[in-house]
Each structure stands twice: as C-alpha cells, then as structure tokens.
Amino acid sequence: MSDILIRPYIAADRESVRQIACDTAFRGEPAEKFFQDRELLADLLTLYFTDYEPESSLVAETDGQVIGYLTGTKNETRSLKVIIYNILPRLAIKAIFRGTFLKGKNLKFLFNLAGSFFKGELKSPDCSRQYPAALHLNIKDGYRAGGTGRKLIEKYLDYLQENKVRGVHFGTISDKAAGFFTKLGFEVLFRNTRSYHLDILGQVVNYYIFGKKLL
C-alpha cells in the first residue's frame, strides 16, 4: 500500500465519506444487507459531521483517493440536539418523498428495530458527562489492517486533547472493531446483545460502548 496521508476533512471529501459510510454500514460491509436507500442512509450517518462540525473530522488519503474517515464531535450531547431537532425532521420528510419507508428491506429493519426497542435492548448508560466526545471510524475494504485506523484515532485523540475534551466514547456492533479498540487502549463501558439483525445473521449481535479518558 502507498503512503497514507491523514488530514483534516474538507468539503471536497463529502461524497467519498458518504460513499464509504454506506459501503461499511453493516459491520464493515455494504448497507444493502439491511437497508435500501443510500442517499438517506448517508444523510443519517454523516450529515451532522460533514455539514455542522466538519472541523472535528479526518480523512485518510492515498494516491489522491479517500480510503477511510473518522467523523467526530467534541460534544455528543450538542450534536444529538442538532440531529434530533434539525436533521431528523428534514430526513423524515425526505424519506416520505423518496418512498424509503415503502421498501421491504427497510420496513423489515424498522420493524426489527422497534422489536429491540420494546425488548429494552436499545437502553444504554449515558456516558457523555465523563466522555463528551464521540466518533465513527471506517476504512474501505481492501485498505484495512495497514495501520490507517490507528493513525486516524491517534490524530483525533491529539485534536481532542488540544481542545481540552476530557474523554471520548462511541458504540459499535462489530466484534472485529471491538478487538481493534481494545488493542488501542479503549475500555468497555457497557455491553449487551441486540436482536435487530437476527434475520440476516442468524444470531444476536454484541453491542459495545467503548470509552477513553483524555484529561
């Protein structure tokens, strides 16, 4: 693999980030396994980070091509307010016009998600007081296991420390990612199992919240 450059996100990276987000949305595999509507899913996964707090995100580039990203926020509570009150209402209207809720796969996923909600599987502790920042990290298939994820995390943690952020946390349903974050010194703050992908995987998934104190 050629040299990897880790640099701040710029507006010209927006489409690459959205594409990688969809290509890796199902535990590192393409979103189509559980969801049909890339445009809407890319909005859900990346819009806050690219359009409201772009200064907190990074990309990995090689040969002029973006091959991975870390989208972050210094304050998850603040980002959730924007997402809930500003982004989600717009996306709900967009989904209605696009017919997103009428597609079989999407209906099935929403139904499964509702099932997890009523079983109490989506409950988790609020870690945002001690660990205010959050992140999402994804590397394109074919470019993994080459040190890029580690470099993105290290640069992001430096950025958070420069900004006097006391900690960072995030959730994942990927056991592989859990191994990676454990290796990088993150602590498991919470763990449970969730059944919303049972129909696709034939088993429940482990859900982890990882955290790291920075100050």
Ligand X SMILES: CC(C)(COP(=O)(O)OP(=O)(O)OC[C@H]1O[C@@H](n2cnc3c(N)ncnc32)[C@H](O)[C@@H]1OP(=O)(O)O)[C@@H](O)C(=O)NCCC(=O)NCCS
Residues at the interface with ligand X (CB under 6 A)? 24, 28, 137-139, 144-150, 172, 174, 176-177, 179-180, 183
The CB-of-136 to ligand X minimum distance in angstroms stands at: 6
Residue 95 vs 212, nearer CB to ligand X:
212
Type of residue at 17? V
With beta carbons less than 8 A apart as the criterion, state whether 17 and 25 touch: no
Residue 184 vs 214, nearer CB to ligand X:
184
The CB-of-61 to ligand X minimum distance in angstroms stands at: 14
Residue 123 vs 183, nearer CB to ligand X:
183
Q: Where are the beta strands (DSSP E) in the chain?
A: 5-8, 58-62, 65-73, 134-139, 167-172, 187-194, 205-213
The CB-of-129 to ligand X minimum distance in angstroms stands at: 21
Residue 46 vs 138, nearer CB to ligand X:
138
Give the integer Cα–Cα distance in Å for 18 and 35: 15
The CB-of-76 to ligand X minimum distance in angstroms stands at: 14
Exposure string of 98-115, with b = 16+ CB inside 10 Å and e = fewer, is eebeeeeebeebeebbee
